[in-house]
């Protein structure tokens, strides 16, 4: 291996090994980075500083700037229309940690992308033929095949197809989903072996894509949320637009509200994805806004189209630290939203990692378990519960 590339890999290893969120064996992590070099899987990525906005990676040895980007802890957009990205290494290794891979595991990956994740999985389980990866985009699959071959992985099972349908009735010890899914398709549940683990990002619109880690026990799945993330949307038969972010310029109700001058109300705590998930589970119309008030990026907001009212929690650091709500529209709707946020604070501001999750029968009521919330999707009904909430919290 070229000495410059090895130096970049060692620097990445040192950086990732320091992360408290990663519990992977550091020796295995270094060997994985050396044996599945990331630069072999990145042919191009989008870079604002490139002449046409695209950095085309030089082969066999990328430029110093390209190596710095590839071996940094950042996600890289590798294609537009349709979008595809090489996920942030911290997120990839965090999800592999969630998967609890062992030697000899048979693994299904939904969303092949560049192929790097499939290569890392193959290296971990010790047998390429135990790894199956599927992507709806046929050209991405062929590029991933080329990337894997260049890294010495010639027996990984690759296929172009709808990942929501599984893989011909095959059964797997582990299933990892690397696209945000608005549901849990039946095929994923049916093809997961008893005692198996499913790791997947669940689209929740206003709360991002929390990563679920679910164990199969009998006919049900139970587990937790391990971390927050943001992924491209699942395509194919199980695609759904109901979980997509809103664009103010294309939503007349939202656009009209944002024309108003907002009022401001202070909050007792920072409101981020933890609160957004709580509000979503409590039936509030939590939505994610793109480019809120000409600010690039995602902003969680509460939108009531009937009143109408919009409430956008923000953290403002200038001129002094302050947590507040930017409120538009009907004051009654705004007051209701703020009351719900206060309820979350009074519960002790539960984090997304505090919830216990269980796949349940759609007819089961949330009231059967204290501090539980039912989230009904087209194919799966999930109960999120807070088993460790002290009674004193309700009395605050």
Catalytic residue among 21, 72, 87, 191: 87
Q: What is the pLDDT of residue 391?
A: 43
CB atoms within 10 A of CB 69: 17
Q: What 3-state DSSP class applies to 365?
A: coil
Question: Which pLDDT value is given to residue 394?
Answer: 41
Please calculate the CA angle 386-389-393 and round it to the nearest 5 degrees.
135
Buried b (16+ CB within 10 A) or exposed e, 265-284: bebeeebbbbbbbbbbbeeb
Residue 145: in which H helix or E strand, if any? helix 138-150
| Nearest-angstrom CA–CA distance, 249 and 241 | 17
The answer for residues whose C-beta is within 8 angstroms of residue 100's C-beta and 6 or more apart is: 174, 197
Contact present, 289 and 345 (Cβ < 8 Å): no
Give the Cα separation of 393 and 348 in Å (integer): 7
How confident is the model at residue 190, as a pLDDT?
95
Give the Cα separation of 99 and 121 in Å (integer).
10
Q: Residue 286: what pLDDT?
A: 67
Q: Distance between CA 61 and CA 74 in Å, rounded?
A: 20
Q: Is 87 considered catalytic here?
A: yes
The whole-model pTM stands at: 0.90
Per-residue CA distances from 362 to 221, 238, 333, 347, 382 (Å): 14, 19, 30, 26, 8
pLDDT for residue 314: 78
The residues, any chain, with a CB within 8 Å of residue 12's CB and separated by 6 or more, are: 33, 38, 71, 72, 73, 89
> What are 203's two structure tokens?
């689209």
Strands (E), 95-247: 107-110, 131-135, 157-160, 172-177, 192-201, 209-217, 220-229
pLDDT of residue 26: 78
Contact 238, 179 (CB under 8 A): no
- Rounded Cα distance between 245 and 299, Å, is 9
3-state secondary structure (DSSP) of residue 9? helix
Residue ranges, the chain, pLDDT below 50: 391-396
Nearest to 276 by CA among 163, 191, 215, 352: 352
Residues contacting residue 80 through CB under 8 Å, at least 6 positions apart: 46
165 Cβ partners below 8 Å, 6+ apart? 185, 187, 236, 237
Q: Which of 343, 274, 262, 334 is nearest to 303 (CA)?
A: 334
- Cα-atom radius of gyration of the chain, to the nearest Å? 22
User: To 5 degrees, how large is the angle CA 205–CA 279–CA 356?
Assistant: 90
Three-state secondary structure call for residue 144: helix
Q: What are phi and psi of 388, to 5 degrees?
A: -105, 15
């Amino acid at each position: 291996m070229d000495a410059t590339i090895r130096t970049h890999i060692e620097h990445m290893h040192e950086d990732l090994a320091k992360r408290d969120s990663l519990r992977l064996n550091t020796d295995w992590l270094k060997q994985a980075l050396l044996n599945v070099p990331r630069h072999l899987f990145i042919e191009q990525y989008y870079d604002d500083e490139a002449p046409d906005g695209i950095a085309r990676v030089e082969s066999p040895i990328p430029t110093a700037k390209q190596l710095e980007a590839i071996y940094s802890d950042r996600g890289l957009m590798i294609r537009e229309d349709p979008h595809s990205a090489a996920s942030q290494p911290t997120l990839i290794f965090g999800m592999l940690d969630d998967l609890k891979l062992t030697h000899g595991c048979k693994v299904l990956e939904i969303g092949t992308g560049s192929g790097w994740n499939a290569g890392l999985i193959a290296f971990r389980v010790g047998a390429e033929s135990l790894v199956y990866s599927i992507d709806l985009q046929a050209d991405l699959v062929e590029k991933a095949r080329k990337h894997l071959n260049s890294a010495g992985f010639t027996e990984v099972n690759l296929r172009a197809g709808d990942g929501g349908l599984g893989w011909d009735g095959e059964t797997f010890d582990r299933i990892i989903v690397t696209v945000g899914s608005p549901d849990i398709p039946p095929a994923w549940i049916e093809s997961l072996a008893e005692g198996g683990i499913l790791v997947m990002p669940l689209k929740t619109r206003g709360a991002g894509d929390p990563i679920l880690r679910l164990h199969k026990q009998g006919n049900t799945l139970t587990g937790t949320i391990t971390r927050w993330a943001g992924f491209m949307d699942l395509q194919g038969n199980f695609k759904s637009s109901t979980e997509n972010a809103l664009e103010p310029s294309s939503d007349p109700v939202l656009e009209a509200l944002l024309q108003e001058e907002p009022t401001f109300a202070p909050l007792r705590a920072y409101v981020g994805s933890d609160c957004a998930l709580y509000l979503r589970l409590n039936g509030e119309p939590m939505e994610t806004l793109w480019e809120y008030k000409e600010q690039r990026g995602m902003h969680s907001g509460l939108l009531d189209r009937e009143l109408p009212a919009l409430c956008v929690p923000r953290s403002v650091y200038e001129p002094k630290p302050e947590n507040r709500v930017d409120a538009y529209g009907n004051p009654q709707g705004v007051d209701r939203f703020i009351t719900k946020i206060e309820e979350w604070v009074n519960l002790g501001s539960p984090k997304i990692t505090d919830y216990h999750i269980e796949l349940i029968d759609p007819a089961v009521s949330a009231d059967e378990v204290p501090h539980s919330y039912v989230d009904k999707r087209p194919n799966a009904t999930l109960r999120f519960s807070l088993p460790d909430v002290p009674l004193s919290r309700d009395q605050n």
